[in-house]
Chains A and B, each alone.
Chain A
Amino acid sequence: MRKIGVIIRKEWSEVFKNRFVLFTVAFLPLVLTAIPIIILYSMSTSGDAGAIGLGDIPGNVNELCPGMSGGECSQYFLVSQFMLLFMMIPLMIPVTIASYSIVGEKTTRTLEPLLATPISTIQLLAGKGLAAVIPAALASWGSFAIFSVAAHFIASGPNVSARLRDPLWLMAIFVVGPLMSIAAVCVAVMISSRVNEPRAAEQLSMLLVIPLLALFFGRIAGFVLINEALIMWMAVALVLIDAGLIALAINLFQRDTILTRWK
């Protein structure tokens, strides 16, 4: 564990000196937090929401907001579309960090001295992975906390703010988010072993956002309903995917190949 800690601290002290990484870690959560807060605020202040009756809400959406008025339900439904944005934070931040931290070792030729120390591949990858996952998880949790506090004061009724903090979203943010981060880091590690440029690793790893965007647009289009069952299934699937990706990333991190092919 001590060696993993050394790698994490090294990564943070190095990676956060990179302005692009720092910008991504700080700016992205700010923007993605501001969007649902602004929507919530504009809906609460416009007064239009109050004119919406339960009959105006589609049946399948109505199921998501028991005990709410039509206005509250529409406010919850619209804001919850953007709640998915919080799940982009744990995908995009670790990809940025991991892409720089691993390909960076390649470009600065620091990997060979590092591999010559008595550190195992698992310790090295765990250190690098956690160095990327922890800031991402903290950023998404922090963003969600800010949003929850804001929602408490801005939402048109206590029902809406309570519903935005219910187990569905708590599980999405606190469980599914970090699981997605782990998957993103594993993919970034694997891509890093095949490319020579941090940006290339980052861009390829960013393809991971596509399934989440599909979910986002599917929800907006009304094809997908995000409920407890879906989040639960996502968590279970991600646990399995993560286990497979971790094993694959460790397997692909062959010192021989890395030292002789990484130029």
Chain B
Amino acid sequence: MIVTENLTKFYGSVKAVEGLTLRVEPGEVFGFLGPNAAGKTTTVRMLCALIGITSGHASVAGYEVGKEDHQIRCNTGILTEAPGLYDQLSAERNLGIFAQLHEVEDVAGQVERYLRMLGLWGRRNDPVGTFSKGMRQKLAIARALLHEPKVLFLDEPTSALDPEAARLVRTFIADLKQEGRTIFMCTHNLDEADRLCDRIAIFRTQLLALDTPSALRRKLYGRTSVFHLRNAGPKFVKILQSTANVHEVQMVDNKLLATLDDPEKQNPELVRSLVDAGADVQFVGELRRTLEDVYLRFVQSPAEQQEAH
């Protein structure tokens, strides 16, 4: 649904996006993660045919960016970083304007459908300026969906929202995912990306990593088993270290953390060794790294990582 090949954007001599190559499949929720000024919004703007490309190629919904911009705008919806609503106008009027500009056939019907879906029908005649941030954000998402676009771009959909409003928006995005929409989402909220996205790209002017959240964790940290012992001690650490295919062993409080190639196969063997050596194993689990850990490993320079430690 979205294909980019060496997509590059310069603002004068400033490099904003360099050699971005990726592919987003139909129905996929794709997370685009990166620090501030990483070039995420620039990428979205290029893919929505809002700004030009310096070099490379991109196509969205089968249309080439830079050559078929009108068709791209007809087939994409965008939630911009700021909702950008007409505060003096009512919710219904705000959506009506955009439905007409997108040449939606049944303007009134489509506006009503989305206002009802978002629970805003009762406030349809109120000026948007009186809405809460969450309501405004939902209305802006509805605006992006009015013309039933093939691809939806969401730029920081929950930024600056309180937890309740953010949850409302996330639930709505999850519903859209259930409908099988293709969603390209820029976010700083790593937990949100972890929960909603099928795949994520970590980006800082150029692509740093691209995979499913769990695959990225695996690639960076391997799989770590956690052995909870009643009597943890250095001798048990040595036992694990001396076992084949155990890469790294740490003791934290009464837990032993071991990075393994294949925990399903190795765990029973390791438990046996520990018990034979006198360990009281209480239970065994898998250490789940947060996406934040993965993200920071990619976006921080080695010096920054050292400082963080």
Interface residues of A (CB under 8 A from B): 2-3, 6, 10, 13-14, 17-18, 108-120, 255-256, 259-260
Contacts and interface: CB of A to CB of B under 8 A. Distances in A.
Contact of A115 (B50, B70, B82): B50
Contacts of A3: 100-101
Contacts of A255: 50-51
A111 B51 contact: no
Contacts of A120: 70
B100 A6 contact: yes
- Which 10 pairs show the lowest CB-CB distances between chains A and B? A117-B101, A109-B82, A110-B84, A118-B73, A17-B88, A109-B84, A6-B100, A256-B51, A112-B80, A116-B78
B93 interface: yes
Nearest to A116: B78
A113 B140 contact: yes
B269 interface: no
Nearest to A17: B88
Nearest to B71: A118
Given A10-B97, A112-B84, A116-B78, 11 more contacts: A2-B103, A10-B86, A10-B89, A13-B93, A17-B88, A112-B78, A113-B143, A115-B50, A116-B76, A118-B101, A256-B52
B80 A108 contact: no
Nearest to A257: B51
A49 B235 CA distance: 120
Contacts, number: 70
Interface residues of B, number: 30
Interface of B: 11, 45, 48, 50-52, 70, 73-74, 76-78, 80, 82, 84-89, 93, 97-98, 100-103, 140, 143-144
Contacts of B80: 109, 112-113, 116
Contact of B98 (A18, A109, A117): A117
A112 B11 CA distance: 18
A108 B82 CA distance: 9
Contacts of B73: 116-118
B84 A108 contact: yes
B100 A2 contact: yes
B47 to A, nearest CB: 11
